[in-house]
Amino acid sequence: MHDLKHPAWTDGTHLSEIMSVEELTELGTGDVAYIKPIKAQDLKEMFPEVPPLHDNMTLYALLNADGTPILLADSREAAVANAFEADLEMAAVH
């Protein structure tokens, strides 16, 4: 059984020695999300189908743990509400 207070990787072992790249990439996907404020001028890369907007407009992207876009909202509150409805755990990103 794993010791939850002292995970194996805390002994200096690199996580990549315990988990494969694929496992690390999928960690939290579908369960964890974060919100990123984004300027309209930077949207085309994440959301190619977005119509033209004023470049200085700030929108809020709800992103999966792996960075995959889930949705775009005009307010942080709307993005949080959607995450809540989808039973996603919110992560703080600094």
- For the stretch 24-82, pLDDT in tens is 455 545 678 899 999 988 887 777 888 888 888 899 999 988 888 889 999 999 999 99
Task: Flag whether 6 is in a domain.
Answer: no
Query: How much is the pLDDT for 50?
Result: 82
Task: Flag whether 85 is in a domain.
Answer: yes
Domain with 91 in it: 31-94
Domain count, the chain: 1
Nearest Cα to Cα of residue 62 among 84, 74, 80, 50: 80
Task: Flag whether 7 is in a domain.
Answer: no
The reported pTM is: 0.64
Please report, to the nearest 10 degrees, the dihedral formed by the alpha carbons of residues 90, 73, 84, 4 taken in order: -10
Rounded CA gap, 27 and 36, in Å?
19
Query: How much is the pLDDT for 58?
Result: 92
* 3 state SS of 20: coil
